Structure 1
């Protein structure tokens, strides 16, 4: 049974990774597409390639997901917890994608792990969640908003006497680099979350000792994320690129550059699994606020924040339901 469950976890984890890709593709490319710095197809190709590359740059975030969220039991019971967590995260991803809300795939996965652990009466590592999830979840959007606001003010001051047309053309070219940097950061952060879950399944299933991410796990996670990114996330792209605030190339460049910097810092320095969605959305709000506060459509922003707040508990509830439903499957009821 363990081998079959591990195979199921790997397949479902890669499915989650794929939904993460098409759900979060807008994070890297929405601003570049909305400012016409890149065509949609070129932006998707760029994002997919950079997601693939970013996935090979580290495993610190994977260790946080695999070791720092729950204390899963060994054997079939632990594998069932991981499987239910993934199913809960996938369902919430699909719901928010359908509604066009840029919620966090990362927090959907974390909520799924917590919900499945609670449903199975297993230990949730609350101190790790506070340190590695809650604090970064609150801090990263605030930092993204503030830095983006300041960077945009600096750009406006530096180019205050320049010709608007030439400035826009220059920043359209620069956005190719900032979009690539953002996509690299997305791959660095989000592919590792799937790596962490698969490695957790291998550990609790007894197929490896110690938490280290094997090379084939990295390859599979990177490939699934890149494939999902190429599939695109047009519904969310419209929300992020157009409905929050109207962007021009300098604003898009500032938002992408700041968001990418936050992603790199949290991944390499703190191994914190932050949300690329939260970071880029708050950066978009920050650059938009430099025009005037009314330039940001705060009603749309409020709906997005509501989705952020609901993601962990709702994904947790869905995962708990999946855990109970899995026990109705013949052969799993005794686990």
Structure 2
């Protein structure tokens, strides 16, 4: 036989060779682990649709943080569930709100762990929307003041990064100005710049008790069918002062992650959201997939698509698997 062809398998012939030429790697430093903190005492509520994920009251938060620290996870993302809600989401910007108190606790007890504060109103408003409401309309400009107050209160409590997720127009500009005027010029903004109105958020709404009480969020979150709109959103946030760009959800939007990575020269963050997590957990519980292999392949795919950092509920499991290997 006189055949001419490429022998690509030469670089796959054993595990050591495959490791030598591997292009993308997952590190503990890549993970940002979401934590749900709830007002009250002696609370550790498992989220029924998210096996292994809990709501923790402040007096039991050390249980979660001790494990996070022992696993070598470097960053956490805090979501708060207040005892009371109102039309204006007062608990979001109260100096002694649940996220603010949890931030103080973590920075005092675990100072080396970086705290990212989710800056939104949906968990705190009685109507469950991410901004102020008038009738059936979600107001944009009047929401910016409340979001800015929330960001400043979180920075005062010690948050290392502010992560606004509300998708109001101008939210990065307003928060950047508010932080600077309050003396927090050093605090970066990790913007949920490209956030789609996705069906993958269902379990999160149980975890954060933040489902909208009327309508939906399609007037402020993006249409899943749109790609070019993602460039417009991300460009606006960069111009307004964003230091990181988040794409959310993760797996169905890897093409958008690659677009953002190619276009912008700031850290790109992917949010591996609750619905993605729960589907893997459900399939694994039924014996349909091998959980570790699927999760690590999924996370590797996110890095390959261009993500620098991954917000994921799988962080603790993945950290254990990385330590084992």
TM over 0.5, shorter chain: no
Return the structure number with greater relative CO, CA threshold 8 A, min gap 6: 1
Structure 1 or 2: larger helix share?
1
Structure 1 or 2: larger strand share?
2
TM-score range, shorter chain: under 0.3
